[in-house]
């Protein structure tokens, strides 16, 4: 009788363990990228003098590029005044709703360039990087790009409204120091994500998903000292 009772207790214990193992484990949701700590690095960039030999106020502009990974800005921009190259916070959570509204399906130009996205109804945008003369509201022709502080690779900040895959081969790209870029990106959640340029042995580059780091560099290099057309269209 005692043995039978012990066997029953063992059986009950095993059933309890097995039923516990059968319970699905829910993985915690990945944290959303909401705030990015940005550290500017200027390479041979001199103060900009306006008329009257006054030093102009430079600012970083982050306009929206709708429905494309490359291309020119088509939406409004967040502008942050340069303060002696000081580190600043890019508050993505504050522009989340605006990004969601501005995100668009791939443009026809993006499709013709070779970019594909699945699901096809995915809405996306890229956050551009520009340097402007805040006083004249004019664009400074400079090479401005996010970079990973550890790997020292160019980064692209994108927003998507759902999990998606971005793929394709694009020719004529000057970013990342490569003319031909292959995209192979799988994003597992809606929101802001980093993509990185990965150099290849043949001189090409791949764009891949990158760890959603909350701290990056913003490297600014001059292309020419002259000012170009007004940046009002980008809305800085």
Pairing mode of beta strands 180-187, 138-147: unpaired
SS3 call for 46: coil
Query: Which of 8-17, 92-101, 166-175 is predicted least confidently?
Result: 8-17
pLDDT band at 104 (very low <50, low <70, confident <90, very high): very high
Residue 156 has a pLDDT of 94
pLDDT tens digits along 160-173: 999 999 999 998 77
In sequence order, the 6+-apart residues with CB closer than 8 A to the CB of 186 are 164, 165, 209
Pairing mode of beta strands 205-210, 180-187: parallel
Environment class of 64 (CB within 10 Å of its CB; exposed 0-12, middle 13-18, buried 19+): buried
Higher pLDDT, 29 or 209: 209
Distance CA 125, CA 98 (A): 11
User: Does the structure show a pLDDT above 60 at 217?
Assistant: yes
pLDDT band at 31 (very low <50, low <70, confident <90, very high): low
Contacts 24+ apart (CB under 8 A), 17-26: none
Distance CA 45, CA 158 (A): 27
């Amino acid at each position: 009788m005692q043995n039978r009772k012990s066997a029953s207790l063992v059986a009950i214990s095993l059933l309890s363990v097995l039923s516990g193992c059968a319970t699905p484990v829910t993985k915690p949701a990945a944290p959303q990228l909401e705030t990015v700590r940005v550290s500017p690095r200027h390479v041979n960039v001199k103060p900009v003098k306006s008329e009257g030999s006054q030093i102009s106020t430079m600012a970083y502009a982050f306009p929206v590029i709708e429905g494309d990974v490359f291309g020119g800005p088509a939406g409004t921009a967040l502008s942050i005044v340069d303060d002696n190259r000081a580190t600043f916070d890019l508050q993505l959570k504050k522009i989340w709703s605006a990004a969601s509204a501005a995100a668009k399906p791939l443009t026809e130009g993006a499709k013709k360039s070779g970019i594909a996205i699945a699901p096809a109804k995915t809405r996306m945008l890229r956050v551009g990087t520009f340097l402007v003369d805040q006083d004249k509201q004019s664009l400074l022709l400079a090479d401005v790009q996010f970079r990973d502080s550890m790997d020292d690779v160019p980064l692209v900040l994108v927003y998507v409204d759902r999990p998606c895959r971005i793929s394709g081969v694009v020719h004529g790209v000057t970013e990342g120091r490569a003319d031909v870029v292959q995209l192979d990106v799988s994003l597992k959640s809606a929101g802001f994500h980093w993509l990185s340029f990965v150099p290849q042995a043949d001189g090409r580059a791949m764009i891949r998903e990158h760890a959603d780091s909350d701290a990056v560099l913003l490297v600014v290099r001059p292309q020419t000292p002259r000012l170009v057309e007004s940046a009002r269209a980008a809305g800085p």
